Structure 1
Protein backbone atom coordinates (compact mmCIF):
# COMPACT_ATOMS: atom_id res chain seq x y z
CA UNK A 1 0.00 0.00 0.00
CA UNK A 2 1.38 3.39 -0.92
CA UNK A 3 1.77 6.23 1.54
CA UNK A 4 -1.00 8.06 -0.31
CA UNK A 5 -3.46 5.24 0.50
CA UNK A 6 -2.56 5.30 4.20
CA UNK A 7 -4.86 8.30 4.71
CA UNK A 8 -7.86 6.04 4.19
CA UNK A 9 -6.80 3.98 7.18
CA UNK A 10 -7.38 7.07 9.32
CA UNK A 11 -10.69 7.94 7.61
CA UNK A 12 -13.62 6.99 9.83
CA UNK A 13 -16.12 7.11 6.97
CA UNK A 14 -14.00 4.84 4.79
CA UNK A 15 -13.44 2.35 7.60
CA UNK A 16 -17.14 2.26 8.51
CA UNK A 17 -18.12 1.76 4.87
CA UNK A 18 -15.49 -0.94 4.41
CA UNK A 19 -16.48 -2.74 7.61
CA UNK A 20 -20.12 -2.53 6.53
CA UNK A 21 -19.22 -4.08 3.18
CA UNK A 22 -17.36 -6.91 4.91
CA UNK A 23 -20.23 -7.85 7.22
CA UNK A 24 -22.79 -7.51 4.40
CA UNK A 25 -20.78 -9.93 2.23
CA UNK A 26 -20.38 -12.36 5.14
CA UNK A 27 -24.09 -12.17 5.93
CA UNK A 28 -25.12 -12.56 2.29
CA UNK A 29 -22.98 -15.69 2.11
CA UNK A 30 -24.74 -17.10 5.18
CA UNK A 31 -28.18 -16.22 3.80
CA UNK A 32 -27.56 -17.61 0.32
CA UNK A 33 -29.03 -21.02 1.11
CA UNK A 34 -32.33 -19.25 1.89
CA UNK A 35 -32.11 -17.23 -1.34
CA UNK A 36 -32.02 -14.02 0.72
CA UNK A 37 -29.67 -11.08 0.91
CA UNK A 38 -29.17 -8.59 3.74
CA UNK A 39 -31.57 -6.06 2.23
CA UNK A 40 -34.34 -8.67 1.88
CA UNK A 41 -33.74 -9.80 5.43
CA UNK A 42 -33.85 -6.21 6.72
CA UNK A 43 -37.22 -5.57 5.10
CA UNK A 44 -38.61 -8.93 6.21
CA UNK A 45 -37.38 -8.56 9.80
CA UNK A 46 -38.79 -5.03 10.06
CA UNK A 47 -42.18 -6.09 8.68
CA UNK A 48 -42.28 -9.06 11.06
CA UNK A 49 -41.54 -6.75 13.98
CA UNK A 50 -43.90 -3.98 12.86
CA UNK A 51 -46.68 -5.45 10.77
CA UNK A 52 -48.71 -3.04 8.66
CA UNK A 53 -46.00 -0.50 7.85
CA UNK A 54 -46.37 1.46 4.66
CA UNK A 55 -43.77 1.01 1.96
CA UNK A 56 -42.73 4.62 2.59
CA UNK A 57 -42.24 3.93 6.32
CA UNK A 58 -40.09 0.90 5.55
CA UNK A 59 -37.88 2.93 3.20
CA UNK A 60 -37.53 5.73 5.72
CA UNK A 61 -36.75 3.41 8.64
CA UNK A 62 -34.08 1.55 6.65
CA UNK A 63 -32.64 4.78 5.23
CA UNK A 64 -33.21 3.64 1.66
CA UNK A 65 -34.78 5.21 -1.41
CA UNK A 66 -38.35 4.00 -1.91
CA UNK A 67 -37.79 2.46 -5.37
CA UNK A 68 -35.37 -0.27 -4.27
CA UNK A 69 -37.58 -0.99 -1.26
CA UNK A 70 -40.56 -1.55 -3.56
CA UNK A 71 -38.42 -3.97 -5.59
CA UNK A 72 -37.37 -5.83 -2.42
CA UNK A 73 -41.00 -6.06 -1.32
CA UNK A 74 -41.94 -7.31 -4.81
CA UNK A 75 -39.42 -10.13 -4.42
CA UNK A 76 -40.60 -11.02 -0.91
CA UNK A 77 -44.23 -10.91 -2.05
CA UNK A 78 -43.50 -13.18 -5.03
CA UNK A 79 -42.14 -15.70 -2.51
CA UNK A 80 -45.27 -15.34 -0.35
CA UNK A 81 -43.22 -13.98 2.56
CA UNK A 82 -45.10 -10.67 2.73
CA UNK A 83 -48.29 -9.30 1.30
CA UNK A 84 -49.38 -5.80 0.42
CA UNK A 85 -52.82 -4.38 0.96
CA UNK A 86 -54.37 -0.97 0.60
CA UNK A 87 -53.68 1.03 3.73
CA UNK A 88 -56.84 1.27 5.85
CA UNK A 89 -56.59 5.04 6.31
CA UNK A 90 -54.99 6.15 3.01
CA UNK A 91 -56.12 4.71 -0.32
CA UNK A 92 -52.88 5.87 -1.98
CA UNK A 93 -50.63 3.96 0.43
CA UNK A 94 -49.94 0.24 0.66
CA UNK A 95 -49.29 -1.52 3.94
CA UNK A 96 -46.99 -4.52 4.13
CA UNK A 97 -47.69 -7.52 6.34
CA UNK A 98 -45.64 -10.63 7.03
CA UNK A 99 -47.18 -13.97 6.16
CA UNK A 100 -46.72 -17.03 8.39
CA UNK A 101 -44.12 -18.27 5.86
CA UNK A 102 -42.40 -14.88 6.11
CA UNK A 103 -42.20 -15.12 9.89
CA UNK A 104 -40.78 -18.65 9.64
CA UNK A 105 -38.21 -17.46 7.07
CA UNK A 106 -37.21 -14.54 9.30
CA UNK A 107 -36.69 -16.94 12.19
CA UNK A 108 -34.48 -19.23 10.08
CA UNK A 109 -32.55 -16.29 8.64
CA UNK A 110 -32.03 -14.72 12.07
CA UNK A 111 -29.69 -17.57 13.04
CA UNK A 112 -27.62 -17.04 9.89
CA UNK A 113 -27.42 -13.29 10.51
CA UNK A 114 -26.30 -13.91 14.10
CA UNK A 115 -23.65 -16.40 12.93
CA UNK A 116 -22.26 -13.91 10.40
CA UNK A 117 -22.15 -11.21 13.06
CA UNK A 118 -20.36 -13.61 15.44
CA UNK A 119 -17.77 -14.41 12.76
CA UNK A 120 -17.32 -10.73 11.91
CA UNK A 121 -16.83 -9.69 15.54
CA UNK A 122 -14.70 -12.71 16.52
CA UNK A 123 -11.55 -10.57 16.77
CA UNK A 124 -13.13 -8.42 19.48
CA UNK A 125 -13.51 -9.19 23.15
CA UNK A 126 -17.04 -9.24 24.59
CA UNK A 127 -16.36 -5.83 26.16
CA UNK A 128 -15.18 -4.42 22.83
CA UNK A 129 -18.30 -5.77 21.11
CA UNK A 130 -20.48 -4.00 23.65
CA UNK A 131 -18.47 -0.79 23.24
CA UNK A 132 -18.73 -0.99 19.47
CA UNK A 133 -22.50 -1.41 19.63
CA UNK A 134 -22.77 1.54 22.02
CA UNK A 135 -20.57 3.70 19.79
CA UNK A 136 -22.51 2.80 16.64
CA UNK A 137 -25.82 3.54 18.35
CA UNK A 138 -24.47 6.90 19.53
CA UNK A 139 -23.34 7.75 16.01
CA UNK A 140 -26.47 6.50 14.27
CA UNK A 141 -28.89 7.96 16.80
CA UNK A 142 -27.15 11.24 17.59
CA UNK A 143 -29.98 13.50 16.47
CA UNK A 144 -28.33 14.81 13.30
CA UNK A 145 -30.35 12.49 11.04
CA UNK A 146 -34.09 13.24 10.95
CA UNK A 147 -34.67 9.80 9.41
CA UNK A 148 -32.87 7.91 12.14
CA UNK A 149 -34.59 4.64 13.01
CA UNK A 150 -35.68 5.53 16.53
CA UNK A 151 -37.30 8.74 15.30
CA UNK A 152 -39.04 7.53 12.16
CA UNK A 153 -42.68 8.24 12.80
CA UNK A 154 -44.69 5.33 11.63
CA UNK A 155 -47.44 7.14 9.79
CA UNK A 156 -51.06 6.23 9.41
CA UNK A 157 -50.51 6.48 5.68
Structure 2
Protein backbone atom coordinates (compact mmCIF):
# COMPACT_ATOMS: atom_id res chain seq x y z
CA UNK A 1 0.00 0.00 0.00
CA UNK A 2 2.87 2.42 0.69
CA UNK A 3 3.67 2.37 -3.02
CA UNK A 4 0.21 3.78 -3.77
CA UNK A 5 0.83 6.75 -1.47
CA UNK A 6 2.92 8.23 -4.28
CA UNK A 7 -0.09 8.22 -6.64
CA UNK A 8 -1.90 11.39 -7.71
CA UNK A 9 -4.98 10.01 -5.99
CA UNK A 10 -3.20 10.07 -2.62
CA UNK A 11 -2.75 13.83 -3.03
CA UNK A 12 -6.36 14.53 -4.00
CA UNK A 13 -8.21 16.36 -1.17
CA UNK A 14 -11.61 14.82 -2.01
CA UNK A 15 -10.16 11.30 -1.91
CA UNK A 16 -8.29 12.02 1.33
CA UNK A 17 -11.43 13.42 2.91
CA UNK A 18 -13.44 10.34 1.90
CA UNK A 19 -10.68 8.03 3.14
CA UNK A 20 -10.38 9.90 6.45
CA UNK A 21 -14.15 9.71 6.90
CA UNK A 22 -14.12 5.97 6.28
CA UNK A 23 -11.30 5.45 8.79
CA UNK A 24 -12.76 7.66 11.52
CA UNK A 25 -16.36 6.51 11.07
CA UNK A 26 -15.27 2.90 11.03
CA UNK A 27 -13.38 3.30 14.29
CA UNK A 28 -16.32 5.10 15.88
CA UNK A 29 -18.82 2.50 14.66
CA UNK A 30 -16.78 -0.27 16.28
CA UNK A 31 -16.93 1.53 19.64
CA UNK A 32 -20.61 2.43 19.24
CA UNK A 33 -21.72 -1.11 18.37
CA UNK A 34 -21.94 -2.12 22.03
CA UNK A 35 -24.45 0.70 22.52
CA UNK A 36 -26.53 -0.29 19.50
CA UNK A 37 -25.59 2.87 17.62
CA UNK A 38 -23.72 3.86 14.50
CA UNK A 39 -22.27 7.24 13.56
CA UNK A 40 -25.41 8.21 11.62
CA UNK A 41 -27.84 7.38 14.41
CA UNK A 42 -25.53 9.03 16.94
CA UNK A 43 -25.52 12.19 14.81
CA UNK A 44 -29.31 12.41 15.06
CA UNK A 45 -29.28 11.67 18.80
CA UNK A 46 -26.47 14.18 19.34
CA UNK A 47 -28.38 17.01 17.66
CA UNK A 48 -31.62 16.01 19.39
CA UNK A 49 -29.84 16.05 22.74
CA UNK A 50 -28.56 19.61 22.45
CA UNK A 51 -31.91 21.36 22.94
CA UNK A 52 -31.77 22.79 19.42
CA UNK A 53 -35.10 21.27 18.43
CA UNK A 54 -34.14 20.26 14.91
CA UNK A 55 -36.85 19.22 12.49
CA UNK A 56 -36.37 16.13 10.35
CA UNK A 57 -35.88 18.42 7.35
CA UNK A 58 -33.13 20.33 9.17
CA UNK A 59 -31.48 17.07 10.18
CA UNK A 60 -31.57 15.88 6.58
CA UNK A 61 -29.99 19.08 5.26
CA UNK A 62 -27.39 19.37 8.03
CA UNK A 63 -26.31 15.73 7.91
CA UNK A 64 -26.40 15.56 4.12
CA UNK A 65 -28.77 12.59 4.17
CA UNK A 66 -31.86 11.83 2.13
CA UNK A 67 -35.02 12.65 4.11
CA UNK A 68 -36.07 8.99 3.99
CA UNK A 69 -32.79 8.03 5.70
CA UNK A 70 -33.46 10.52 8.48
CA UNK A 71 -36.99 9.21 8.93
CA UNK A 72 -35.60 5.69 9.31
CA UNK A 73 -32.96 6.85 11.82
CA UNK A 74 -35.53 8.78 13.87
CA UNK A 75 -37.96 5.84 13.73
CA UNK A 76 -35.25 3.52 15.04
CA UNK A 77 -34.25 5.89 17.84
CA UNK A 78 -37.87 6.56 18.72
CA UNK A 79 -38.58 2.84 18.79
CA UNK A 80 -35.83 2.47 21.36
CA UNK A 81 -37.26 5.31 23.45
CA UNK A 82 -34.25 7.56 22.82
CA UNK A 83 -35.97 10.41 20.97
CA UNK A 84 -39.47 11.66 20.46
CA UNK A 85 -41.19 13.78 17.86
CA UNK A 86 -42.78 16.90 19.29
CA UNK A 87 -44.83 19.70 17.69
CA UNK A 88 -42.68 22.50 16.28
CA UNK A 89 -43.71 25.85 17.72
CA UNK A 90 -42.26 27.56 14.61
CA UNK A 91 -44.21 25.47 12.10
CA UNK A 92 -47.27 23.50 13.21
CA UNK A 93 -46.95 21.17 10.19
CA UNK A 94 -43.51 20.08 11.31
CA UNK A 95 -42.17 17.99 14.18
CA UNK A 96 -38.95 18.54 16.08
CA UNK A 97 -36.77 15.72 17.33
CA UNK A 98 -35.95 15.77 21.04
CA UNK A 99 -33.86 13.35 23.07
CA UNK A 100 -35.60 11.61 25.94
CA UNK A 101 -34.02 11.14 29.36
CA UNK A 102 -32.85 7.67 28.26
CA UNK A 103 -31.57 9.18 25.04
CA UNK A 104 -29.52 11.79 26.90
CA UNK A 105 -28.11 9.10 29.17
CA UNK A 106 -27.07 6.98 26.19
CA UNK A 107 -25.75 10.05 24.37
CA UNK A 108 -23.37 10.77 27.23
CA UNK A 109 -21.95 7.25 27.04
CA UNK A 110 -21.81 7.33 23.23
CA UNK A 111 -19.98 10.65 23.14
CA UNK A 112 -17.31 9.23 25.43
CA UNK A 113 -16.84 6.34 23.00
CA UNK A 114 -16.76 8.59 19.94
CA UNK A 115 -14.29 10.96 21.54
CA UNK A 116 -12.04 8.03 22.44
CA UNK A 117 -12.22 6.83 18.84
CA UNK A 118 -11.46 10.35 17.63
CA UNK A 119 -8.51 10.67 19.98
CA UNK A 120 -7.09 7.47 18.51
CA UNK A 121 -7.80 8.54 14.92
CA UNK A 122 -6.28 11.99 15.38
CA UNK A 123 -3.46 10.98 17.73
CA UNK A 124 -0.79 12.06 15.24
CA UNK A 125 -2.16 15.61 15.15
CA UNK A 126 -1.36 18.34 17.64
CA UNK A 127 -4.20 20.25 19.26
CA UNK A 128 -3.47 23.17 16.92
CA UNK A 129 -3.56 20.89 13.87
CA UNK A 130 -6.90 19.43 15.02
CA UNK A 131 -8.30 22.94 15.38
CA UNK A 132 -7.03 23.93 11.94
CA UNK A 133 -8.44 20.75 10.39
CA UNK A 134 -11.86 21.43 11.95
CA UNK A 135 -11.79 25.01 10.65
CA UNK A 136 -10.88 23.90 7.13
CA UNK A 137 -13.52 21.18 7.10
CA UNK A 138 -16.14 23.68 8.27
CA UNK A 139 -15.30 25.81 5.22
CA UNK A 140 -15.59 22.82 2.89
CA UNK A 141 -18.67 21.22 4.48
CA UNK A 142 -20.75 24.32 5.09
CA UNK A 143 -19.04 27.15 3.19
CA UNK A 144 -18.64 28.93 6.53
CA UNK A 145 -15.87 30.53 8.50
CA UNK A 146 -15.34 29.37 12.11
> What TM bracket, shorter-length normalisation?
0.7 to 0.9
In the alignment, what sits opposite 1:140?
141
TM-score (ref. length: structure 2): 0.87
In the alignment, what sits opposite 1:43?
44
- Secondary structure of the 1:49 match is coil
In the alignment, what sits opposite 1:147?
none
Q: Which runs of 5+ in 1 are unaligned?
A: 144-149, 151-157
Measured on the aligned residues, the alpha-carbon RMSD in Å equals 2.1
For the 8 Å contact 1:51–1:98, the answer to whether it is kept is no
Q: Which runs of 5+ in 2 are unaligned?
A: none
In the alignment, what sits opposite 2:31?
30
- Alpha-carbon offset, residue 89 of structure 1: 5.2
Q: How many residues align?
A: 143
1 CA distance for matches of 2:90 and 2:133? 41
Note closer, same or farther for the CA distance 1:123–1:84 as it changes in structure 2 (3 Å cut): same
- Alpha-carbon offset, residue 91 of structure 1: 4.4
Q: Which has the higher helix share?
A: 2
The farther-off stretch of 51-60 and 106-115 is 51-60
In the alignment, what sits opposite 1:153?
none
1 CA distance for matches of 2:92 and 2:133? 43
Note closer, same or farther for the CA distance 1:87–1:129 as it changes in structure 2 (3 Å cut): closer
**Structure 2 residue 82 is the aligned partner of structure 1 residue 81:** yes
The farther-off stretch of 35-44 and 47-56 is 47-56
Identify which of structures 1 and 2 has the higher relative contact order when contacts are C-alpha pairs closer than 8 Å and 6+ apart. Answer: 1
Note closer, same or farther for the CA distance 1:83–1:25 as it changes in structure 2 (3 Å cut): same
- Alpha-carbon offset, residue 70 of structure 1: 0.4
